[in-house]
Amino acid sequence: MSEWKCGGCGVVYSFEEFIALNKIQMVADDPDPIKNYGYTPVCVCGYRFHLDKWFMKSTGTIFHYVTVFHNLLNICSFGKLCKPHEIRVDISTADLELNLGMLSKGDIYYESMIFPSRRGGGVECQYQERYPGKEWASADHQHLRYLLETGKYLISYRWDGYDRKFVWVFDLSEEHNRIISKSELEGDIVTESPEPTFAHQQMLRKDSKEEREEMKKGIEELTKALGR
């Protein structure tokens, strides 16, 4: 059994009721929904599951120095401080629409996660928090922004026994008291539209498609240049 909650009127549907709802194409101009993006249920109030769901997204860049010893080595070798690594951090909070708390103590419909990334390698982050309602989710999203803006984070380097290599690990917590200068943050972390429209969803898909086409073109040009 599963429960799905409408993000518009708040009606909760059982799995059987959910799949019995009227459906529309995920992408309006999709010529073959069965092979491509498929269909999505529509609540009796007109809310389109997945397409109209509420979310918040904040993003920023941390200019992070690896270690003090890294800087000392660079000074001894080149006579200057090394450049910091730019780490992009995305905070995502969204309405899951699906109740993930049915087997626990209560309802859980919202979730926040943090996604750090950098050029030249990944950054692991295990942060994940879930909430019963939008008010909790929205308030905690703002709190996560505060922690990142005030330096309540830690980036450590741990040995991964499975892959047998050191990995970068990002941790965000009130416990950390990192002394940072304002210049280490690329301005403020800006929250994007918390009320996405269908047009916005279509725009995101279009941008993603254009990026894939551009990447494909780049690979073809590189392959041609290498004579393969």
Residue-wise pLDDT tens digits, 123-167: 999 999 999 999 999 999 989 988 888 888 888 888 888 878 888
pLDDT at residue 184 is higher than 60: no
Provide the pairing of β-strand 165-172 with 121-124. Answer: parallel
User: Per-residue pLDDT for 181 more than 60?
Assistant: no
Q: Where are the domains of the chain?
A: 1-53, 54-195
Categorize the per-residue pLDDT at 174 as very low, low, confident or very high, splitting at 50, 70 and 90. confident
pLDDT of residue 218: 64
pLDDT-derived band at 202, boundaries 50, 70, 90: low
Cα-based angle 218, 224, 225 (whole degrees, multiple of 5):
90
- Write phi, then psi, for 90 (nearest 5 degrees): -110, 130
pLDDT at 113: 94
Query: pLDDT, tens digit, for every residue of 38-96?
Result: 999 999 999 999 988 888 888 888 877 766 666 677 777 777 777 777 888 888 999 99
* Torsion sign over Cα 154, 155, 159, 160: positive
**Residue 187, pLDDT score:** 38
In the block, tokens 């494909």 appear at 216
Q: Annotate the chain with DSSP letters as a single string.
A: --EEE-TTT--EEEHHHHHTS-EEESSTT-S-TTTTT-EEEB-TTS-BTTTS--EEEEEEEEEE---HHHHHHHHHHHSSPPPPEEEEEEEEEEE--B-S-TTSSS---EEEEEEEEETTEEEE---EEEESSHHHHHHHHHHHHHHHHTT-EEEEEEEETTTTEEEEEEEE-TT------GGGB-SPPEE--SS--HHHHHHHHHHHHHHHHHHHHHHHHHHHHTT-
The span from the CA of 207 to the CA of 29, in Å, is 16
Supply the mean pLDDT for the chain.
Answer: 79
